[in-house]
Amino acid sequence: MAHEKEIHASDWTDQDLLTKDEAGERLDDEIESTRARLNELEVQDVAGTDVAASLALVRRRLTAMESLRGTL
């Protein structure tokens, strides 16, 4: 049975930072996509299509993601 090498705490910290960076990048992509979706819905709303519920959900989602992004 092979013995696993112990990782020092500083190595775990570096690994966590990379994970947070990747999560931040993915969140940025999702925020951009959600903003585009919100713009589409706002255009539909102006055109008279009833999208109020969808607008509210997408706005809440965008607000939550932007708030989370500030913590990364």
49, part of any domain: yes
How far is it, in rounded angstroms, from Cα 53 to Cα 45?
A: 11
Count structural domains, the chain: 1
For residue 71, is it within any domain? yes
5-22 pLDDT tens trace: 666 665 555 566 667 888
71: left (phi over 0), alpha (psi -120 to 50) or beta: alpha
Contact 62, 34 (CB under 8 A): yes
Domain that holds residue 51: 29-72
Structural domain contains residue 45: yes
pLDDT for res 6: 67
CA distance 15 to 27: 18
**Per-residue pLDDT reduced to its tens digit, 23-46:** 899 999 999 999 999 999 999 887
Residue 4 counted as domain residue? no
What is the reported pLDDT for 45? 82
Asked whether residue 33 is domain-assigned, the answer is yes
In a domain, 18, yes or no: no
- Which is higher by pLDDT, 51 or 31? 31
33 or 72, greater pLDDT: 33
Look at residue 1 and tell me whether its pLDDT is greater than 60: no
Rg, the chain, Cα only: 20
Instruction: Answer whether residue 21 is part of any domain.
Output: no
